[in-house]
Every structure is written in C-alpha cells, then in structure tokens.
Structure 1
Amino acid sequence: MPVQYNSKTTGSELVRGLADNIKGKVILTTGVSPGGLGAQFVETVAAASPALLIIAGRNTAKVQQTADAIAKAHPGVKTRPLRLDLGSLAAVREAAAEVNSWDDVPAIDVLVNNAGIMASQFGANHLGHFLFTNLIMGKILVASKPRVVNVSSDGHRLSPIRFYNYNFDGGKNYHRWTAYGQSKTANMLMALSLGQKLASSGLLAVSVHPGVIASNLLAHLDVAAAMEDMWPPDRTMGNQWGWDKDLYEFKTADGGVATHVFGAFHPLVEGHNGAYLLDAHVADPYTDTYASWARDPIEADKLWRLSEKLVGQEFAY
C-alpha cells in the first residue's frame, strides 16, 4: 500500500488498501443523496464489508435510493436509513434520539459529517452537525478507535468566523461565498475542538477538503456566475484565487472521496488529532491552503462556546 498520495488518488484505491481497517465497522454518514460525495463515499466503502452503514439525509426517498444502490452492488452489506434535517435543530434532536435508541447499535466507529449546502449558511453546514455529533457522542466514544470526519473545503479561505455578525445582520449584508467560507472554517474548528477535548477519551477528529467536484452540490448553481461572485471576497482576503482563474482542478467523484476515506480509516492520520486533510495527506500550512484562523485553538474555543449558546445546550468534556 502506498504511503504517498496526491490529487489523483481515488477513494477506491484507498478502500482496497484499507479493507482490513474498514471491515466490520459501523459508519454513520450524513448527506448521502445520489450524485453527491456522501453517496459516493458509502458506496465505495461498502466494497470493504463494513458491519453497518447508517446513511442519513433530509430526503428519505433519496436516502433509500442510495441504500438500494448499495444493496444491489454489495448485497451482504447492511444499511440503515436515518432522516436527518440539519436545518432544524428540533429535527436534529429527533434524529439523535433515534440513533441513541438503537440497542442493536451500541457503538459507532466512524461519523462522517458530509452533508452541506453550497454557498450556504452557518446553521445547516455547522450548527446542525455540531449538535448531532455531540448528542450521539456516547455511542461514538464506546467504539475501540472512534473517528469523526468533518467535510470542509479550501473555501474556508474566504472567511474566518464572524463572531459578532455570524448571521450577516439578519441577512442584510449576506454574501453567499463569505457565508460559505465561514461555515467551512467552522467545520475545521469544530474538528479541532473535538480533538482537543476528547483525545483523552480515544477520539480522533479531523476535517477534510475533498477537492472541487462536479457533484449535485453544484447542480443548482450557475458555475460561471458563481466563480465571478467568489472573486471579490478572494481579492478582499488577498487570496491568489482572486486573480488566477486557472487554479481549480476538478476531480472525479471517486477522487473526491479519497480524503474522506483517508481521514476515516488510514493509520497515517493517527497522531494528527484535529488536523485538516486534503489530497489524502495532512495539510501543510506553508504549502497548502490552510488559513491561520481555521487552525487557531482560541478561535476554536470561541466557536465552541458560541455554538453551545446557539443550540441552547452545553457539552462539557
């Protein structure tokens, strides 16, 4: 099995090499609608015979389509659909209560917080996952080597956490890419906090950038117009993307889940709690896009406290 990966590495390649690390695991993945990276991830991982794939999403019909695809390709792999609407904290609590009621699933080995909305808000991309993850943490921590993987983006470069105006003045000064950048920074800081707070309990938490993939997240966007809309905040932040239009390298869906698989199962990630991963390696802040505000433990702690306030519940670890 190779120890060096790059932007061409695929999820299938990694799954073949990590089959022994995946076999028998219970894996919960959010955002598994067909055509997205969540579906690609669970369908790819299914080839290595996990014990159970818990597949969560807002649209139960779409979740079932993914379950059916897994059953057709890998009839021996068990799946369990879960309705999870991350845009509603009440719905998140209901989903977490359902998971916690499953006596036949005493432990969850890996949680992959994959769901997200392109150019969207703090609530759906961060707060929903923050609450859900913490509410089911009891089931995660009883696993032998539990991991939490937050799917972020190099789009975190577009904004730090706007602590005093995270909701853009009630939407009055909303900019979709700045909001997206803030939410992706939040995914990274949440993983950093989990790693700091729960390493002593055995948890490994990381965030990942899958790359730029023509998935169903882009289906509702005019890509050309969206890119034009992204350049102003990139220029405001002094990012190279604001001037160089040729930086984007699109990956296949299989390539897009390589870093999901790496973060969820690879032993090379051990010892890098709270890290940010891309192209199936631990990010280097000197050579990779890895903004300082997304790896600052003080920012992470401030976000944790703000998140507790916004969901109305404290999680003392």
Structure 2
Amino acid sequence: MNSTIFLPDTSSTDTMGVYDRNTEGRELVQKLVDNVKDRNFLITGPTPGGLGAETAISIAAGKPAMIILVGRSQTKAQPTIDAIQAVDPNIKVKFVIAELSSLKSVRAAAHSILSNNEISKIDVIINNAAVMASPQMKTEDGLDYQFGINHLSQFVLTNTVMPKILAAGLGARIVNVTSSGHRYTGVRLHDPNFTEPGSYSEFAGYGQAKTANILYSVELNKRLASRGIHAYAPHPGSISTNLQVYLQALGDNAMQVLDAASWKVNGCSMEDTRKRDPMKTLQQGCASIIRAAIDPDLVKEEGVFISDVNLTTDPKDVRLWATDPELAEKCWRLSEELVGEKFDI
C-alpha cells in the first residue's frame, strides 16, 4: 500500500523560487543532510516502486542512524531493505510487520517498537501507506476500509509510539501523506463509515481519509508545537504506482470514475488536468514528503499542507474543511471513538 496520489495540485508560496514540481528528493537530502545524519526515521508502506521505498532510499544517502520500515510483508519489502543497505551498509534497517486494516496488528507493531531498546527515539515518522478508490469494504474492526487504513491506522500507530517521538524532542516531525483528493469531501463526522444508503463512492471514501490526514496534522501541531515537534501533510502529486490497483480493477469504468473525481477536485476533466500538470517521477513525488520530514525552515511558514514542495494555505489548494482547528479537534475525538482509545498528548 503505497501512498501515491493520482490528482495533481497547483499552489504558490514565497518559496516557489526555491522549490517547484521538478525538485527531487535526493537534492533535498543533499541540501539538508545535517537534518538526516544520525537520526531515526520510521516509514510505512515500503513496497518497491512506491513512494515509501523511494523516500527511504533517498533518505539513506544522508546517513541516518536507523530506518524503520512498517509493512505487511518483509519478503515484499526486502528489495527496499537491500537498496537502503546498498546506499549505506552502516544504516540499521528494521522491519516491523503490520496489517493496517487491523487495529490489533497496528497496536502490536507499535508496542514492538516501544519495547525495542535499540529504538531509543523516532525523529521522523512518515505515514505513507494508503489505499485509493476501493469499493465499499470494511476493515477487520468494521470501519470504512479507506478511512481505517489511510487515517485510523496512522492515528493509532503514531499516537502509540508517541513516547519515542517525544524522546527525539525539538525538531521531531510527523508526516501524514495526503492528496489533492481531499478536495472531494470533508470528514463525515456524523457517518464516517458511510452507513447511509447511497452515500459511498470510491473517491468519497478516499477524499474523507485524505482530509483526515490533514486535520490530524493540524491537531498534532496544536498539541505538540510548543515542544518543538511539528506535523505536516504533503501531497506528492500524480505518480504511477500500485496505489492505482483498485482503479485498474474498474476496467472500462475507471476513466469515468476518474473524470467525475477530477471535475469535483480540480474543476476540469482528467484530460485537461493531465495537460495542466503532467505525471511526476518518484523522485519528484517524494520531494514534498522529504521536505516535510527534514526542512527546519518550514516552521517559519504558515500551514501544514505541502504541494509541489511548498507550503500553501490557499483555499483553492487546501480546503478549509481540512484546516479548520475546530474540525481538527472533532476529527481527533471521532478517531478516538472509532478506535476505542483515548490518547493524552
């Protein structure tokens, strides 16, 4: 489950002269190497060919102390592990098994991280794993499949390992990978599991979850910024990976579904969207994630949503339903209710 996003975004900030959609992850690591060296990174969704793997391999060039990969299968993740160690054999690479559609599995993974004395701290956690545009399904816990995997699993994992993030202290980062797809809809606070007849569609489920990623970042900043720990929600852009597996399963109907989503999110057809903002490479896509993870200058700017490697608060780019502090607090409370656990952070 790799968090690659199909819908592009356009935004502008004062730093556009420094970074843009062509900025690559490796150049950011090289530029900001002091914020990578000797630090511990946790990344979910490390399947080869996806953004999680590309991010991990790029970060490896900066000589981090440790990279913790969280995924469903070590066998599938092994090429990513091998690639990291090929870049720098001195990096400690740890793999932790977690099935994100099971809160029991997520909690077990989190507690294994907490109990591992070799992991003294987590300087950066990157919640990258995701699914997109699935048919209506439920997780093991009876939760909406996309909301459960794309948001609630991250909510539980991150909040449970928070002692290790707090141990890293000043400069620690929490990165919740989101999408321009959040512009499709906000969080259905009254019915997040789409129990109302006819309320579910592939991108309504995806949009809700991607909005929750941003709201979670907003609320984390409210709770942690005074301790020098910040959260960001980067949108990588349009990259071809296995995130499109459910779209491929739609066959001939896929373009119709994509077109309808594109009109709602971008205000134009998918064809025009592609002309306006062509597909990115993995390196271009992971750049927004890496900047969110390691650039100390971000704290001098406003907002949590990053697109084309720049922070933006423009409501055309990031909807107010994804950044409103009251909605962020409500989303936090809803998330606690759905997972059956309160987090005192």
Q: TM-score, normalised by structure 1?
A: 0.93
What is residue 67 of structure 1 aligned with on the other side?
A: 81
Question: Aligned match of 2:122 in 108, 113, 136?
Answer: 108
Q: Matches of 2:164 and 2:265 in 1, distance apart? A: 43
Secondary structure in 2 matching 1:149: strand
What is residue 294 of structure 2 aligned with on the other side?
A: 265
8 A Cα contact 1:22 1:48, kept in partner: yes
Q: Matches of 1:146 and 1:242 in 2, distance apart? A: 40
8 A Cα contact 1:27 1:109, kept in partner: yes
Note the 1:92-103 alignment, pairs <5 A: 92-103=106-117
Note the 1:1-317 alignment, pairs <5 A: 4-120=18-134, 121-144=146-169, 145-169=171-195, 173-222=199-248, 225-233=253-261, 235=263, 237=264, 239-242=266-269, 244-245=272-273, 246-272=275-301, 275-285=304-314, 289-317=317-345
Q: Matches of 1:214 and 1:62 in 2, distance apart? A: 18
**What one-letter code is carried by the residue in structure 1 that aligns with 2:210?**
K
Q: Matches of 2:44 and 2:217 in 1, distance apart? A: 16
Secondary structure in 2 matching 1:313: coil
8 A Cα contact 1:56 1:63, kept in partner: no
Deviation at 1:202, TM superposition (A): 2.2
Deviation at 1:239, TM superposition (A): 4.4
Any gaps of 5 or more consecutive residues in structure 2? 1-15, 135-145
8 A Cα contact 2:181 2:265, kept in partner: no
Aligned length: 314
Deviation at 1:170, TM superposition (A): 7.0
- Of 218-227 and 54-63, more deviation after overlay is shown by 218-227
Instruction: Give per-residue Cα distances to partners, 1:205-246, cap 9 Å, x unaligned.
Output: 1100001101221245338843421333554x5741358443
Instruction: Give per-residue Cα distances to partners, 1:107-160, cap 9 Å, x unaligned.
Output: 100000000012241101000000110000010011132110000001101110
**What one-letter code is carried by the residue in structure 2 that aligns with 1:297?**
P
Q: Matches of 1:67 and 1:166 in 2, distance apart? A: 36
Q: Matches of 1:158 and 1:248 in 2, distance apart? A: 18
Q: Matches of 1:82 and 1:171 in 2, distance apart? A: 38
Relative distance call for 1:8 and 1:313 in structure 2 (3 A) is same
**Structural RMSD (CA):** 2.1
